[in-house]
Copies of this chain bind each other. A is one copy, B any other.
Amino acid sequence: MATWLSEDEQRAWRRLGAVTMLLPAALESQLQRDAGVTHFGYWVLAMLSESPGRSRRMSELAALANGSQSRLSHLVAKLEERGWVRREKVGDDGRGFSAVLTDAGYDMVVATAPSHVAEVRRLVFDALSPEQVRALDAICAAIMSRLAECDESTELPG
């Protein structure tokens, strides 16, 4: 209990908590309604659509999308059922698989992107000044570097 939060910090913390609970939920429900996908699912498809050959190594894709390998594996199984993604063996490494976006998957991303971007803009960027956008970027970068640190330390051998 050595270092409690200051009043400013308390307030910021509650609000950040609310945003991290409600913003993903709001985007989730928009995507679910308009496209029948999860936020994570859409994010993965969008990443693939911007990747060279619309294709990525599974592990690479998991890292890009900030998810675990297991989560991605389950997700890709569903996306494959729906015909948006296909798995392909990687040539030079017998263990490796790539997720490849199908044409149907690409069409789906193209069809879904506008309304999703509009929602993001409406909920986030329309509410912020350009300075705030830059400040937000810097703040998130600072937090991410802390999160990355902690990953490293848990990966260290004792």
Interface size of A by CB at 8 A reads: 56
B134-A146 in contact (CB<8A): no
A22-B139 in contact (CB<8A): no
B147-A138 in contact (CB<8A): no
Within the oligomer, what is the number of copies of this chain?
2
In the docked arrangement, what's the CA distance between A118 and B61, Å?
32
A15 contacts the other chain (CB 8 A): yes
In the docked arrangement, what's the CA distance between A142 and B127, Å?
6
A136 contacts the other chain (CB 8 A): yes
B5-A134 in contact (CB<8A): no
A18-B121 in contact (CB<8A): no
Contact with B along A14-30 (1 / 0, CB 8 A): 01111111111010000
Q: Which chain B residues lie closer than 8 Å to A2 at the CB level?
A: 114
A145 contacts the other chain (CB 8 A): yes
Q: Which chain B residues lie closer than 8 Å to A138 at the CB level?
A: 132
B19-A143 in contact (CB<8A): yes
A125-B16 in contact (CB<8A): no
B15-A133 in contact (CB<8A): no
Contact with B along A104-117 (1 / 0, CB 8 A): 00000000011001
A156 contacts the other chain (CB 8 A): no
In the docked arrangement, what's the CA distance between A143 and B123, Å?
6
A145-B127 in contact (CB<8A): yes
Residues of A participating in the B interface, judged by any CB pair closer than 8 Å: 1-5, 8-9, 11-13, 15-24, 26, 40, 43, 66-67, 113-114, 117-118, 120-128, 130, 132-147, 150
